[in-house]
Amino acid sequence: MLKVFLVEDESVVRESLRNNIPWKEYGFDFVGEAGDGEMALPLIRKTAPDVLITDIKMPFMDGLSLSHIVKKEFPSMRIIIMSGYDDFEYAKRAIKEGVDQYISKPITKSGMKEVLDSVKEKIEKERIQQGYLLQYQMETQEYEQLQRREFFEKVLTGRMPVKDIYVEAGKLSLDITASAFSLILFSIKDKEKPIEEIGSVEYCKALEELMSYFIRFPAYILSRWSLNTYIVVVKGEKDIVADYVDKGISKITEICGDKDDKIEWYASAGEPVERFSALEKCFNAVNHAFACRFFVQDTHILTEEIAAKYESLIKDAPVGIEDEPTDKRGNKLISDAIAYIDENYMNESCSLSDVAEALSVNSSYLSAIFSKEMDTTFVKFLTAKRLDKARELLVKKRMHTADVAAAVGYKDSHYFSFVFRKTYGMSPKEYRNQNS
């Protein structure tokens, strides 16, 4: 049910509409009413209706003024203006304020049903599209994380010119505007199970708590660095960045400190720098201290002072990350995963977890390996496979969109069309006609 709110200064008209329109029959819940815009506004904010029906001329605050405020605060709210005045200027102003329907008094049931049906149809179409967009965003989120990781790798290892840093950050919607920056590098590994397998309860809980904490605050930008290692860019004013670093390290210690028998964890933090491009220097120092994890067991917070004690050993430490798989092992896993996708992409249920289960590995592990070896994500790869086959069926077989969608693993043909258009800039039908 959609929620509807009514604003009308004439009490007789308001009561008539409230009592005589079969709101529930039309698919609406009547959630409130008011005699003018000023009285209505706080009630609208409280009830958050989907549809606002308001008279155009009222004392204190008229319908157009109310519509102007509502559209700013609730852009998705649909508005129906009622008026007993045959005034074109009012109609033009109503359209300018984003009003969806304009209905003249006296209002009949059939007239109200017509405008409500129209508004309801718009809302439902919008929600379907929003649902598709949300699903698409969720499917591409992992790819965005991969791009973010690659961005930080280039910045922190000095492989991205300063002139490109802010352009690329903008593309990734990363806010790197601040007067000071620092870094936290931390790793967390399950002692009970190898990374290929699903982690223990304690490990999964600790990792989830850490992710939730660093994602929660805008002062932190979290990114995966390797299979077991994460990097956090800390940003803010000069006098508070160090505090955010301390809080981050304290949270890592709090979450992991009492689980030493279950998980292996280490963390290192750097000194603040005044430019984002200067984080390369900060990273070199942090990574240098972080390398001490190869030589210590009971010390979890790694500092430059600790690194100085192990200087000679650090020089001979492994260059790569200790949890990366060998090429042979990774290549075999990827080839098996691709073979599974080739055989099962047409099944709607084909997913990362299905492939991981078939290959007897942890899905998170498979996801990380797939991203590393293929330079894309599992979902991106699967989607590309499906859409490539879809293009072939559209052109060579001249199949209808719904049949093509079903043939390549999409139960919802409308969502298939949404993804196709997002990828190729045209609908499946337009693609077929253009390439016939």
Condensed to tens digits (0 to 9), the pLDDT of residues 373-391 reads 888 889 899 999 999 999 9
Residue 8 has pLDDT above 60, yes or no: yes
Q: What is the mean pLDDT of residues 189-210?
A: 84
Per-residue pLDDT, 298: 84
Per-residue pLDDT, 328: 56
Per-residue pLDDT, 429: 92
Question: What does the block give as tokens for 122?
Answer: 């718009």
For residue 58, what pLDDT band results from cuts at 50, 70 and 90? confident
Q: What is the mean pLDDT of residues 138-167?
A: 87
Cα distances (Å, whole numbers) of residue 276 to 22, 182, 183, 235, 359: 60, 9, 11, 9, 41
* 230-248 residue pLDDT tens: 999 999 998 899 999 999 9
Q: What is the mean pLDDT of residues 249-253?
A: 97
How crowded is residue 324: how many other Cβ atoms within 10 Å of its Cβ? 16
280/6 Cα distance (integer angstroms): 59
User: What percentage of the chain reaches a pLDDT higher than 70?
Assistant: 93
Per-residue pLDDT, 330: 67
Residue 222 has pLDDT above 80, yes or no: yes
Per-residue pLDDT, 20: 92
* 294-349 residue pLDDT tens: 888 789 999 999 988 887 777 665 544 446 444 555 678 899 999 999 999 999 88
Residue 116 has pLDDT above 50, yes or no: yes
Q: What is the mean pLDDT of residues 360-368?
A: 83
Q: Are 187 and 289 in contact (CB under 8 A)?
A: no
User: What percentage of the chain reaches a pLDDT higher than 90?
Assistant: 54
Average pLDDT, the chain: 88
Per-residue pLDDT, 363: 82
Per-residue pLDDT, 345: 94
Cα distances (Å, whole numbers) of residue 241 to 26, 76, 285, 315: 55, 38, 17, 30
Per-residue pLDDT, 268: 97
Q: Among residues 247, 364, 204, 229, which one has the least CA distance to residue 294?
A: 229
Per-residue pLDDT, 396: 86
The alpha carbon of residue 64 and the mean position of all alpha carbons in its chain are separated, in whole angstroms, by 35
* 15-41 residue pLDDT tens: 999 999 999 999 999 999 998 888 899
Q: What is the mean pLDDT of residues 252-265?
A: 91
Q: Among residues 395, 414, 418, 398, which one has the least CA distance to residue 406?
A: 414
For residue 152, what pLDDT band results from cuts at 50, 70 and 90? very high
Per-residue pLDDT, 364: 78
For residue 175, what pLDDT band results from cuts at 50, 70 and 90? very high
Is 34 in a helix, a strand, or coil? strand
342/175 Cα distance (integer angstroms): 39
177/164 Cα distance (integer angstroms): 15
Per-residue pLDDT, 147: 86
Verdict on whether the full-model pTM lies above 0.95: no
* 263-301 residue pLDDT tens: 999 999 999 999 999 999 999 999 999 999 888 878 999
Token match 């890592």: residue? 252
